[in-house]
């Protein structure tokens, strides 16, 4: 039986190398990468996959040169204001995961507004990981659990996986079935450390700006041939 596929998570990597290979500045790669986001989102939704999570900016990416960070912030601004507003029409609910307090106030405002305005959409869900890292998310979650214990609302012996899950940024979102990373790197780079526990991994050698619907289908085909056992036997 083919395993169901309701959530794809993508590490969109390789924008800088795509640009370098063409003698262009890294920032051009990010601009081209933003166009790929729109195309791939459409392709995923056309295939009736309800959830997609995109890793767009990690907590570690803040240490890149200021010019690159500033180009990325401008691209997010533009994307939040123009492209995402379009998505609302297709009944896409938007979620942001990560530490949004690190962003300039106008971007934070736009994020809150988009989440609020799409909160009753439920055909598709788009989860954008911005200033996100799995360790940071887990650290923030553990802090919240510790506070509940300190206040006497929770006893340490009652802490379960559910207690932690409820404090993660991804509350209410099912775990990814398939994780795709582009650009040939085969690592997680601090993405969804908790949620990827039993996800199937697919690594594409294509740089993100070159990722196409055909490449997406290759990943989906590979997923369909996997045997998911979740630690059990078949
Ligand atoms: C992914 O592409 C986008 C971000 C991390 C913001 P990179 O910018 O990491 O591109 P490479 O990996 O250097 O080619
Ligand atoms: C991971 O890519 C983060 C995003 C794609 C947003 P990086 O390019 O930052 O990861 P490393 O440095 O190659 O591990
Ligand atoms: Mg990279």
The response to whether residue 13 sits with its C-beta less than 6 Å from ligand 1 reads yes
Determine whether 13 is an active site residue. Answer: yes
Q: What is the CA radius of gyration of the chain?
A: 18
- Which one from 13, 136, 169, 177 is the annotated catalytic residue? 13
Instruction: Look at residue 87 in the predicted model and tell me its pLDDT.
Output: 78
Of 12, 234, 2, 3, give the one whose Cα is nearest residue 127. Answer: 12
Pocket test for ligand 1, best of 11, 12, 15 (most atoms within 8 A of CB): 15
**For the whole model, what pTM was predicted?**
0.97
Express each pLDDT in 165-202 by its tens digit.
999 999 999 999 999 999 999 999 999 999 999 999 99
**Residue 194, CB-side half-sphere exposure with 13 Å CA sphere:** 21
Instruction: Look at residue 96 in the predicted model and tell me its pLDDT.
Output: 98
Residue 58: beta bridge partners?
A: 132
Instruction: Look at residue 2 in the predicted model and tell me its pLDDT.
Output: 61
Determine whether 217 is an active site residue. Answer: no
Residue 136 DSSP code:
H
Atom 12, ligand 1: residue with shortest CA distance:
14
At residue 198, what are phi and psi to the nearest 5 degrees? Answer: -125, 25
Burial (Cβ within 10 Å: 0-12, 13-18, ≥19) of residue 20: middle
Question: Which pairs count as long-range contacts for 37-44, CB under 8 Å and 24+ apart, including other chains?
Answer: 37/12, 37/79, 37/83, 38/83, 39/212, 39/213, 40/10, 40/211, 40/213, 40/216, 41/87, 41/126, 43/213, 43/216, 44/8, 44/216
Q: What is the mean pLDDT of the chain?
A: 96
Ligand nearest to the CA of 26: 1
Point out the residues of the chain with pLDDT beneath 70.
1-2
The response to whether residue 58 sits with its C-beta less than 6 Å from ligand 2 reads yes
């Amino acid at each position: 039986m083919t395993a169901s596929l309701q959530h794809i998570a993508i590490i969109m990597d390789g924008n800088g190398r795509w640009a370098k290979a063409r003698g262009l500045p890294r920032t051009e790669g990010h601009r081209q990468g933003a166009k790929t986001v729109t195309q791939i989102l459409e392709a995923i939704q056309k295939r009736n996959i309800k959830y997609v999570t995109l890793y767009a900016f990690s907590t570690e990416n803040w240490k890149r040169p200021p010019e690159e960070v500033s180009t990325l912030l401008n691209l997010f601004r533009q994307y939040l204001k123009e492209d995402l507003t379009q998505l609302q029409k297709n009944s896409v609910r938007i979620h942001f995961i990560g530490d949004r307090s690190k962003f300039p106030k106008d971007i934070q405002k736009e994020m809150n507004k988009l989440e609020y305005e799409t909160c009753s959409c439920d055909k598709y869900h788009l989860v954008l990981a911005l200033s996100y890292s799995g360790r940071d998310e887990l650290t923030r979650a553990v802090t919240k659990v510790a506070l509940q214990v300190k206040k006497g609302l929770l006893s340490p012996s009652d802490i379960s996986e559910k207690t932690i899950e409820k404090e993660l940024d991804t509350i209410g979102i099912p775990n990814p079935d398939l994780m795709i990373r582009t650009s040939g790197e085969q690592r997680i780079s601090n993405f969804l450390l908790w949620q990827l526990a039993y996800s199937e991994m697919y690594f594409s050698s294509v740089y993100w700006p070159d990722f196409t619907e055909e490449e997406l289908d290759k990943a989906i085909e590979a997923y369909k041939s996997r045997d998911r056992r979740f630690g059990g036997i078949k």
